[in-house]
Chain A
Amino acid sequence: MHWQKYILAFVITGAIFGTAFYIAQRIDTQRIADIRATEESISIDILSSETQFELLGHLDCKIIAENPVLSDELNALASRLSVAEENLGATNKEVINLKEQYSLLEIKDYLLLQQISEKCHSKPVFVLYFYSNRGDCKDCGRMGQELSYLRETYPGLRVYSFDYNLDLSAVKTLIALQKLQGPLPAFIVNNRAPVYGFKTLDEVEKLIPELKTLATSTAATSTKASN
């Protein structure tokens, strides 16, 4: 019996496991960096728009119509965050940090949208969606799927999804301002009264009649609203 061979095989197998772990970790780190880069890019876009408004003192609706200031990347970011959360866990500090940053960007984007619609008399269609992934909302995932599907189908629809339990004062303020009191999932369409509980796709479509005014997409880009 050559025990050295048993030990050598163990060391090599351990090294293969270690390499697999290292590669997986590196890719996850790359994913986080990718999300962070996207968030920074969106942040710069928003800051640029805000600065532009402050410099000019008013909005040039014509320019906005030609070059939308609101970033489409915000939608894509949601699903990427969802993947990162799945891989690294919802309690991962990095993930929570990215989610907080994402929520802030969503709120800023939402405020910008309000400003634009008010000054340019545009009629945006948006949904504020509140979910929980603590295991206390079994329908939140399904509701998220519906909103993702709608966002893919109607690229003009802006869905802002918020983790109800996120420990972020801006999100808490938004929840307070919207006077959310009922069970989750909950969503608010175009600043109307909150809708509580699970609704099927048909019911959601009825609650957003403005969808008819939006163009549909044939090549839908999927984004997840929650999870």
Chain B
Amino acid sequence: MDIGSFGIYIFLFVGLYFEVFLLISFLEKRPQQKTATLPNYYPSTTIIIPCWNKAKTLAGTVESLLAMDYPKDKLSIVIVDDGSTDNTYEAAQIFAHNPQIKIYQKKNEGSKYAALNYAINRSESDLVGCLDADSFVAKDALLEVAKEFERDPEAMAVAPAMKVNHPRNLLELMQSVEYTFGIFYKKMFDNLSAISVLPGPFSIYRRSVFEKIGLFRKAHHTEDMEMAFRMHANGLKITNVHTALVYTNVPPTVGALVRQRTRWSRGFLENSRDYSYMYFNRKYGHFGVLVLPFGLVAFLGGLYTASYTVWRITEFVSTHVLDMLATHVPPHVSTNSLQWFYINTSMLSFLVIATLGMTLMAVVLGQRIAQTRLPLKAFISYFALFGFIAPLWLARALWDTVWAQERGWLV
């Protein structure tokens, strides 16, 4: 075994270990089905919609909020036009006469956190949440969240289950699979009290969170991740409500996806550095001992595996091309390769199959948890594309972190 493949075995072991750990957690505590019960108390809630050039999708987002089954006098919506250069502010004006809605316009300060804080400072409700202006909530999403806050008085913030809104092209379908196993991951992290991010689409906080630990920070353009880290650092509980569904638009092109994920991945690296004291620290439970270290190993493992694969493919192709040039043997396909004897049956191939199988199981469980069903082409897109695209943002995030490249939130 060469050193390169030894590294692959190490990362596969860690990856499999993590997936096995989550499956054990699933078997220990299975997610409960949605119930028809209503909360005894409807806390007043403010949902902030920070917008930067979201004229096209803003109305749909607001309408989905207005359509929610929640007492109107308990729900306020705050639209913050964060210095848009399109007609977002004009688009928001169609809701200007709705008493539930407030519209603000502010100068862009380079990151989303400022828009959120601007609105939090102008709200007074019991709960404060955020909804990105390209996301849409299910009718009962807030009701489910309210039930969770009532059920668990210790819960200080609640993360929803996110689905991709009408995935159409292959890239969106690929992301729909990702988001589906994200639903499984998030629920299992909830079982472990180790949720690592409170996503922009419809994460809801008790107001006391901000009073105790302060408002959002710039946090390398991942204020939602930093807030989750900070809450763990201060012993504030985060839970997941898999029955609170949010549908979000995802980047439809490779460039946009790579830019978005670069920001997320870099945010993870930078926040990990800022909160490095939590790593392997038993004081922070599974979050410090399992989730954070695994996140870093997954980042490094993804890069390592991609680099090793590229190296091996390059070596294989260049050797064959050089051999062909030297020998003058024309390209030909050997019928031998079709016989079982020549199929690669190394230990590594079985481990890769096991890892892919576990990933597939996570997606299937994610589907069951979120009561959804993905089309076959989504699975094909995921297994065909993800391995090629993900290394691009991992490499770019590492590069940006090492060289301290500032790309901003808006890219």
Specify which chain B residues have a CB less than 8 angstroms from the CB of A200 in the assembled complex.
326-328
Query: B386 in the interface, Cβ–Cβ < 8 Å?
Result: no
Query: A13 in the interface, Cβ–Cβ < 8 Å?
Result: yes
Stretch at the interface among B45-53, B221-229, B263-271, B281-289: B281-289
**Which parts of A11-52 form the interface with B (CB within 8 Å)?**
12-13, 16-17, 19-21, 23-24, 27-28, 31, 34
Is the interface on chain B under 10, 10 to 19, 20 to 34, or 35 or more residues?
20 to 34
Contact of B341 among A9, A83, A223 (CB under 8 A): A83
Contact of A17 among B13, B21, B335, B337 (CB under 8 A): B13
How far in angstroms is the closest Cβ of chain A from B328? Answer: 4
Query: B213 in the interface, Cβ–Cβ < 8 Å?
Result: no
Closest B residue to A10 using CB positions: B17
Given contacts A12-B20, A27-B345, contact A1 B285 (CB under 8 A): yes
| Chain B 24-36 interface mask (CB, 8 Å, partner A; 1/0) | 1100100000000
Q: Do A142 and B326 have beta carbons less than 8 Å apart?
A: yes
| Chain B 341-373 interface mask (CB, 8 Å, partner A; 1/0) | 110011100110010000000000000000000
Query: B121 in the interface, Cβ–Cβ < 8 Å?
Result: no
Specify which chain B residues have a CB less than 8 angstroms from the CB of A9 in the assembled complex.
17, 20-21, 24
Query: A87 in the interface, Cβ–Cβ < 8 Å?
Result: yes
Specify which chain A residues have a CB less than 8 angstroms from the CB of B345 in the assembled complex.
23-24, 27-28
Specify which chain A residues have a CB less than 8 angstroms from the CB of B286 in the assembled complex.
1
Interface of A is mostly: helix
Q: Do A220 and B341 have beta carbons less than 8 Å apart?
A: no
Specify which chain B residues have a CB less than 8 angstroms from the CB of A28 in the assembled complex.
345
Give the distance in Å from the alpha carbon of A23 to the alpha carbon of B343 in the complex. 14
Q: Do B329 and A149 have beta carbons less than 8 Å apart?
A: yes
Give the distance in Å from the alpha carbon of A117 to the alpha carbon of B306 in the complex. 56
Query: B16 in the interface, Cβ–Cβ < 8 Å?
Result: yes
How far in angstroms is the closest Cβ of chain B from A84? Answer: 9
Specify which chain A residues have a CB less than 8 angstroms from the CB of B327 in the assembled complex.
142-143, 145-146, 200-201
Given contacts A145-B323, A201-B328, contact A24 B289 (CB under 8 A): no
Query: B37 in the interface, Cβ–Cβ < 8 Å?
Result: no
Give the distance in Å from the alpha carbon of A221 to the alpha carbon of B354 in the complex. 33
Query: A219 in the interface, Cβ–Cβ < 8 Å?
Result: yes
Specify which chain B residues have a CB less than 8 angstroms from the CB of A17 in the assembled complex.
13, 16, 347, 351
**Which parts of B329-345 form the interface with A (CB within 8 Å)?**
329, 332, 334-337, 341-342, 345
Q: Do B336 and A79 have beta carbons less than 8 Å apart?
A: yes
Q: Do B351 and A221 have beta carbons less than 8 Å apart?
A: no
How far in angstroms is the closest Cβ of chain B from A127? Answer: 15
Give the distance in Å from the alpha carbon of A34 to the alpha carbon of B341 in the complex. 9
Give the distance in Å from the alpha carbon of A24 to the alpha carbon of B353 in the complex. 13
Q: Do B350 and A152 have beta carbons less than 8 Å apart?
A: no
Query: A56 in the interface, Cβ–Cβ < 8 Å?
Result: no
Specify which chain B residues have a CB less than 8 angstroms from the CB of A143 in the assembled complex.
327
How far in angstroms is the closest Cβ of chain B from A117? Answer: 28
Specify which chain A residues have a CB less than 8 angstroms from the CB of B16 in the assembled complex.
13, 16-17
How far in angstroms is the closest Cβ of chain A from B340? Answer: 9
Specify which chain A residues have a CB less than 8 angstroms from the CB of B350 in the assembled complex.
19-20, 23-24
Specify which chain A residues have a CB less than 8 angstroms from the CB of B13 in the assembled complex.
13, 17
Q: Do B24 and A5 have beta carbons less than 8 Å apart?
A: yes
Give the distance in Å from the alpha carbon of A11 to the alpha carbon of B340 in the complex. 32
Give the distance in Å from the alpha carbon of A24 to the alpha carbon of B346 in the complex. 5
Specify which chain A residues have a CB less than 8 angstroms from the CB of B334 in the assembled complex.
152, 220-222
Contact of B328 among A6, A202, A222 (CB under 8 A): A202
Give the distance in Å from the alpha carbon of A149 to the alpha carbon of B289 in the complex. 56
Closest B residue to A221 using CB positions: B335
Q: Do A1 and B289 have beta carbons less than 8 Å apart?
A: yes
Give the distance in Å from the alpha carbon of A146 to the alpha carbon of B323 in the complex. 10
**Which parts of B265-320 form the interface with A (CB within 8 Å)?**
282, 285-286, 289-290
Give the distance in Å from the alpha carbon of A169 to the alpha carbon of B346 in the complex. 34
**Which parts of B2-24 form the interface with A (CB within 8 Å)?**
13, 16-17, 20-21, 24
Q: Do A5 and B21 have beta carbons less than 8 Å apart?
A: yes
| Chain A 80-106 interface mask (CB, 8 Å, partner B; 1/0) | 100100010000000000000000000
Query: A8 in the interface, Cβ–Cβ < 8 Å?
Result: yes
Give the distance in Å from the alpha carbon of A145 to the alpha carbon of B321 in the complex. 13
Given contacts A23-B350, A24-B347, contact A80 B24 (CB under 8 A): no
Q: Do B351 and A16 have beta carbons less than 8 Å apart?
A: yes
Closest B residue to A84 using CB positions: B341
Give the distance in Å from the alpha carbon of A13 to the alpha carbon of B11 in the complex. 12
Specify which chain B residues have a CB less than 8 angstroms from the CB of A5 in the assembled complex.
21, 24-25, 28
How far in angstroms is the closest Cβ of chain B from A30? Answer: 9
Contact of A219 among B285, B329, B335 (CB under 8 A): B335
How far in angstroms is the closest Cβ of chain A from B7? Answer: 15
Give the distance in Å from the alpha carbon of A83 to the alpha carbon of B327 in the complex. 22
Specify which chain B residues have a CB less than 8 angstroms from the CB of A16 in the assembled complex.
16, 20, 351, 354
Specify which chain A residues have a CB less than 8 angstroms from the CB of B354 in the assembled complex.
16, 20
Contact of B17 among A13, A146, A149 (CB under 8 A): A13
Specify which chain A residues have a CB less than 8 angstroms from the CB of B332 in the assembled complex.
149, 152, 220
**Which parts of B148-173 form the interface with A (CB within 8 Å)?**
none
Give the distance in Å from the alpha carbon of A220 to the alpha carbon of B336 in the complex. 9
Specify which chain A residues have a CB less than 8 angstroms from the CB of B328 in the assembled complex.
200-202
Specify which chain A residues have a CB less than 8 angstroms from the CB of B285 in the assembled complex.
1
Would you mind naming 10 contact pairs between A and B with Cβ atoms under 8 Å apart?
A8-B24, A9-B21, A13-B13, A16-B20, A16-B354, A76-B336, A79-B342, A83-B342, A143-B327, A220-B334
Q: 13 more A-B contacts (CB under 8 A) besides A87-B346, A221-B336?
A: A5-B25, A6-B290, A8-B24, A13-B13, A13-B16, A16-B351, A24-B350, A83-B342, A142-B326, A198-B326, A221-B334, A221-B335, A222-B334
Closest 3 CB pairs of A and B: A222-B334, A20-B350, A9-B21
